[in-house]
Amino acid sequence: MDNSESSDEQSLSLPSIHVSLTSSPLSATTALSRIKSPKAGAVVLFAGCTRDTFNSKSVLHLTYSCYAALALRSMQKIAKEVHEKHGLVAISITHRLGQVDVGEESVLIAVSAPHRAAAWRAGEECLELVKERVEIWKEERFEDGGVWRSNRDGQAGVPVESAKGESDEAGGGK
């Protein structure tokens, strides 16, 4: 998680709010540096990782795609809402694009607040809103093919043809 992010990052920032998309490995250190403050008594970091199985199928990797300008605006709107609702000191949302291998992080949400209860609630609410609202799609790739899903529905989308010409309607992922 502590790899350096490269210049491929696209971001929007306001005072105490940062959202970004990148195809580089995510950095917990970078996310935390964006939200730490002497005003914050609590810091919460959520890291969503690609797991190795889904519905008893081996996951090879996930691939994320989006329309960046729209996804960044949606992420910023969510960050503003969560920041205001929970009285946060700061919030950062970073989502990975492109291929994300098993064990790697696809999303980091970092929040800081004066007290821990607000930080815990805000972090979880932010994750759920990102999954529900942000225009990011993922292909879940298995040994025998793959399937596209939007973050919001969790339902299988259009099957992706496998190398054998077969399709797969089951899904996996984060």
Report whether 116 belongs to an annotated binding site: yes
Per-residue pLDDT tens over the stretch 12-65 = 999 999 999 999 999 999 999 999 999 999 999 999 999 999 888 999 999 999
Which CATH architecture describes the domain 28-152? Alpha-Beta Complex (3.90)
Say if CB 62 and CB 139 are below 8 A apart: yes
How many degrees, rounded to 5, is the angle at CA 173 between CA 172 and CA 174?
Answer: 140
Report whether 138 belongs to an annotated binding site: yes
Report whether 143 belongs to an annotated binding site: no
Q: Residue 25 has which token pair? A: 């490995």
Report whether 132 belongs to an annotated binding site: no
pTM value?
0.84
Report whether 166 belongs to an annotated binding site: no
- For the chain, the domains span 28-152
Is it the case that residue 91 has pLDDT exceeding 60?
Answer: yes
